[in-house]
Amino acid sequence: MLKLLVILPAYNEGQCIRPVLAEIVRQQPHADLLVVNDGSIDDTVTAALQAGALVADLPHNLGIGGAMQTGFRYAKAHGYDVAVQVDADGQHPADQIQLLLNEMERSGVDLVIGSRFVEATGYRASLTRGVGIRFFARLLSALCHQRLTDTTSGFRAANRAAIAHLADNYACDYPEVESLISLHRAGYRICEVPVRMLPRQAGTSSISPLRSVYYMMKVAFAVLVGALSDARPPLAEDRPSTTPEAEA
Amino acid sequence: MNPRAVLFIAVLGLLFAAFAIELVRRRLVRPEYVLVWGVMAFGTGVLAFLAGCAPWLMTLSGLSYQSLVTLLGFLFTSGMVLTLTVIANRQGKRVIRLTQENALLRMEIERLRSTPAAQSSPAEDKGGDA
């Protein structure tokens, strides 16, 4: 059986993390759940522990990238076959996780992105966010020579090889786009699968319009520099055992 | 250059070097971080005491003396800021790594504590070891 870890980076998600975890347990009963508490000041840790999840409690806020990398480090250290990233705010329905796993098994790629835009799902982004999503989708599609529609999606599944890469190479803030160019440059295979996403169940997004501008500038610069960087090929010892076919 | 100006620059350079050495002596700054200040003090000394150095640089660059000094000061400051940026970045990465390891190790400790074997009394553990 596939050794599966679901990683949920969480910052002040005490209000909604309990039902999110409960639903994941219902949909993926064999998965281990790891909540990476990114310096929350509410009861996120208590709620996650009560829901039966493992909790890595970061002593201060590192940002989504630092939190996710903690999860990938844990996954790498404990030999997980697949790590799925899920938002703790309920935007990523637990019943969609299986779609990522099925696509990974079918195509044998290293990273599957849950995309809101492969098919019309009715998702509506704000103006600034929508501009950013389209901009990075086109930029990454050009740099990776494949069509990518939702490069900012944080709903993803990584296999063992991608976990090993991401555990050592992950940007601290706004890491989703940068991680794709990093994986592509290192020779990992990426694909998208259409998924449905929901509005967040509670709280507000940390990305304000002003931050969106910073986000676009910072990430675009990092992506372009990343595209010029030396590629680091996948670790040879990881590659053979990484694909679900090999597992089967 | 005017002997008084040479003396002024030399005294200023020496004071700066003494201050930097004192910072290292008090362990407020690690020696490797003061090296760049030492380079600056040395450069100042060269400009002050080697009479031909400044005119040669002026001819080479086409700048007046004031502009040359301003440019050298700007270059040094930029170099220093860049050095500090690299150091801050390196330290930031280390802090992130340590924070992550700290969280993961604390989680492992809590997990081990909650296992039945770990909940046996310390006296039993000592007896078992003996």
- Per-residue confidence in pLDDT tens, chain A, 248 aa: 889 999 999 999 998 999 999 999 999 999 999 999 999 999 999 999 999 999 999 999 999 999 999 999 999 999 999 999 999 999 999 999 999 999 999 999 999 999 998 877 777 777 777 888 899 999 999 999 999 999 999 999 999 999 999 999 998 778 999 999 999 999 999 999 999 988 766 666 666 777 778 888 888 888 888 777 766 555 555 554 444 444 43
φ and ψ at residue A157, rounded to 5 degrees:
-125, 130
Q: Which residues in B lie closer than 8 A to residue A66 (C-beta atoms)? A: 96, 99-100
| pLDDT at A240 (0 to 100) | 41
Contact predicate A39/A62, CB 8 Å: yes
Question: Sheet harboring A156-159: ordered strands across?
Answer: A54-58, A32-38, A4-10, A82-85, A156-159, A111-115, A190-194
Assess if CATH 3.10.20.30 describes domain A4-247: no
Q: Which residues in B lie closer than 8 A to residue A70 (C-beta atoms)? A: 100, 103-104
Q: Could you give the maximum distance between any two Cα atoms of chain B, in Å?
A: 85
| pLDDT at A7 (0 to 100) | 98
B130: in domain: no
The SS3 of residue B25 is helix
Count of domains observed in chain B: 2
CB within 8 Å of A12: residues ≥ 6 apart: A40, A41, A42, A44, A203
Does position B41 have pLDDT exceeding 80, yes or no? no
Cβ within 8 Å, pair A58-B99? yes
Q: Which residues in B lie closer than 8 A to residue A175 (C-beta atoms)? A: none
Cβ within 8 Å, pair B103-A172? no
Residue A74 touches partner B, C-beta closer than 8 Å: yes
In this structure, the number of other CB atoms found within 10 A of the CB of residue A129 comes to 16
Cβ within 8 Å, pair B111-A172? no
Cβ within 8 Å, pair A58-B100? yes
Residue B105 and residue B80 share a domain: yes
Residue B42 and residue B79 share a domain: no
Mean pLDDT over residues B97-101, rounded?
96
Q: For residue A52, what is the DSSP state?
A: T
Contact predicate B45/B13, CB 8 Å: yes
Q: Which of B97, B100, B109 to mutate to test the interface with A (most CBs of A within 10 A)?
A: B100
Q: What is the mean pLDDT of chain B?
A: 81
B35: in domain: yes
| pLDDT at A239 (0 to 100) | 52
A63: buried, middle or exposed (CB in 10 Å: 19+, 13-18, 0-12)?
A: buried
Residue B112 and residue B77 share a domain: yes
Question: Which residues between 2 and 41 in chain A have a beta carbon less than 8 angstroms from any beta carbon of chain B?
Answer: 36-37
B19: in domain: yes
Cα–Cα dist A243/A233, whole Å: 16
| Closest approach of B75 to chain A, Cα-based (Å) | 25
What is chain A's length? 248
Residue B38 and residue B8 share a domain: yes
Residue B111 touches partner A, C-beta closer than 8 Å: yes
| Closest approach of A72 to chain B, Cα-based (Å) | 11
Contact predicate A143/A226, CB 8 Å: no
Counting DSSP H helices and E strands in chain A, the numbers are 9, 7
Where exactly are the structural domains of chain A?
4-247
Q: Which residues in A lie closer than 8 A to residue B106 (C-beta atoms)? A: 56-57
CB within 8 Å of A107: residues ≥ 6 apart: A189, A191
Residue B107 touches partner A, C-beta closer than 8 Å: yes
Residue B39 and residue B69 share a domain: no
Domain carrying residue B39: 1-51
| Closest approach of B101 to chain A, Cα-based (Å) | 8
R_g over Cα of chain A: 17
Q: Which two tokens stand for residue A109?
A: 């790629």
Residue B5 and residue B38 share a domain: yes
Of A55, A62, A77, the CB nearest to B99: A62
| Closest approach of A66 to chain B, Cα-based (Å) | 7
| Closest approach of A87 to chain B, Cα-based (Å) | 19
Q: Is the ipTM of this complex over 0.90?
A: no
Residue A48 touches partner B, C-beta closer than 8 Å: no
A124: buried, middle or exposed (CB in 10 Å: 19+, 13-18, 0-12)?
A: exposed
B21: in domain: yes
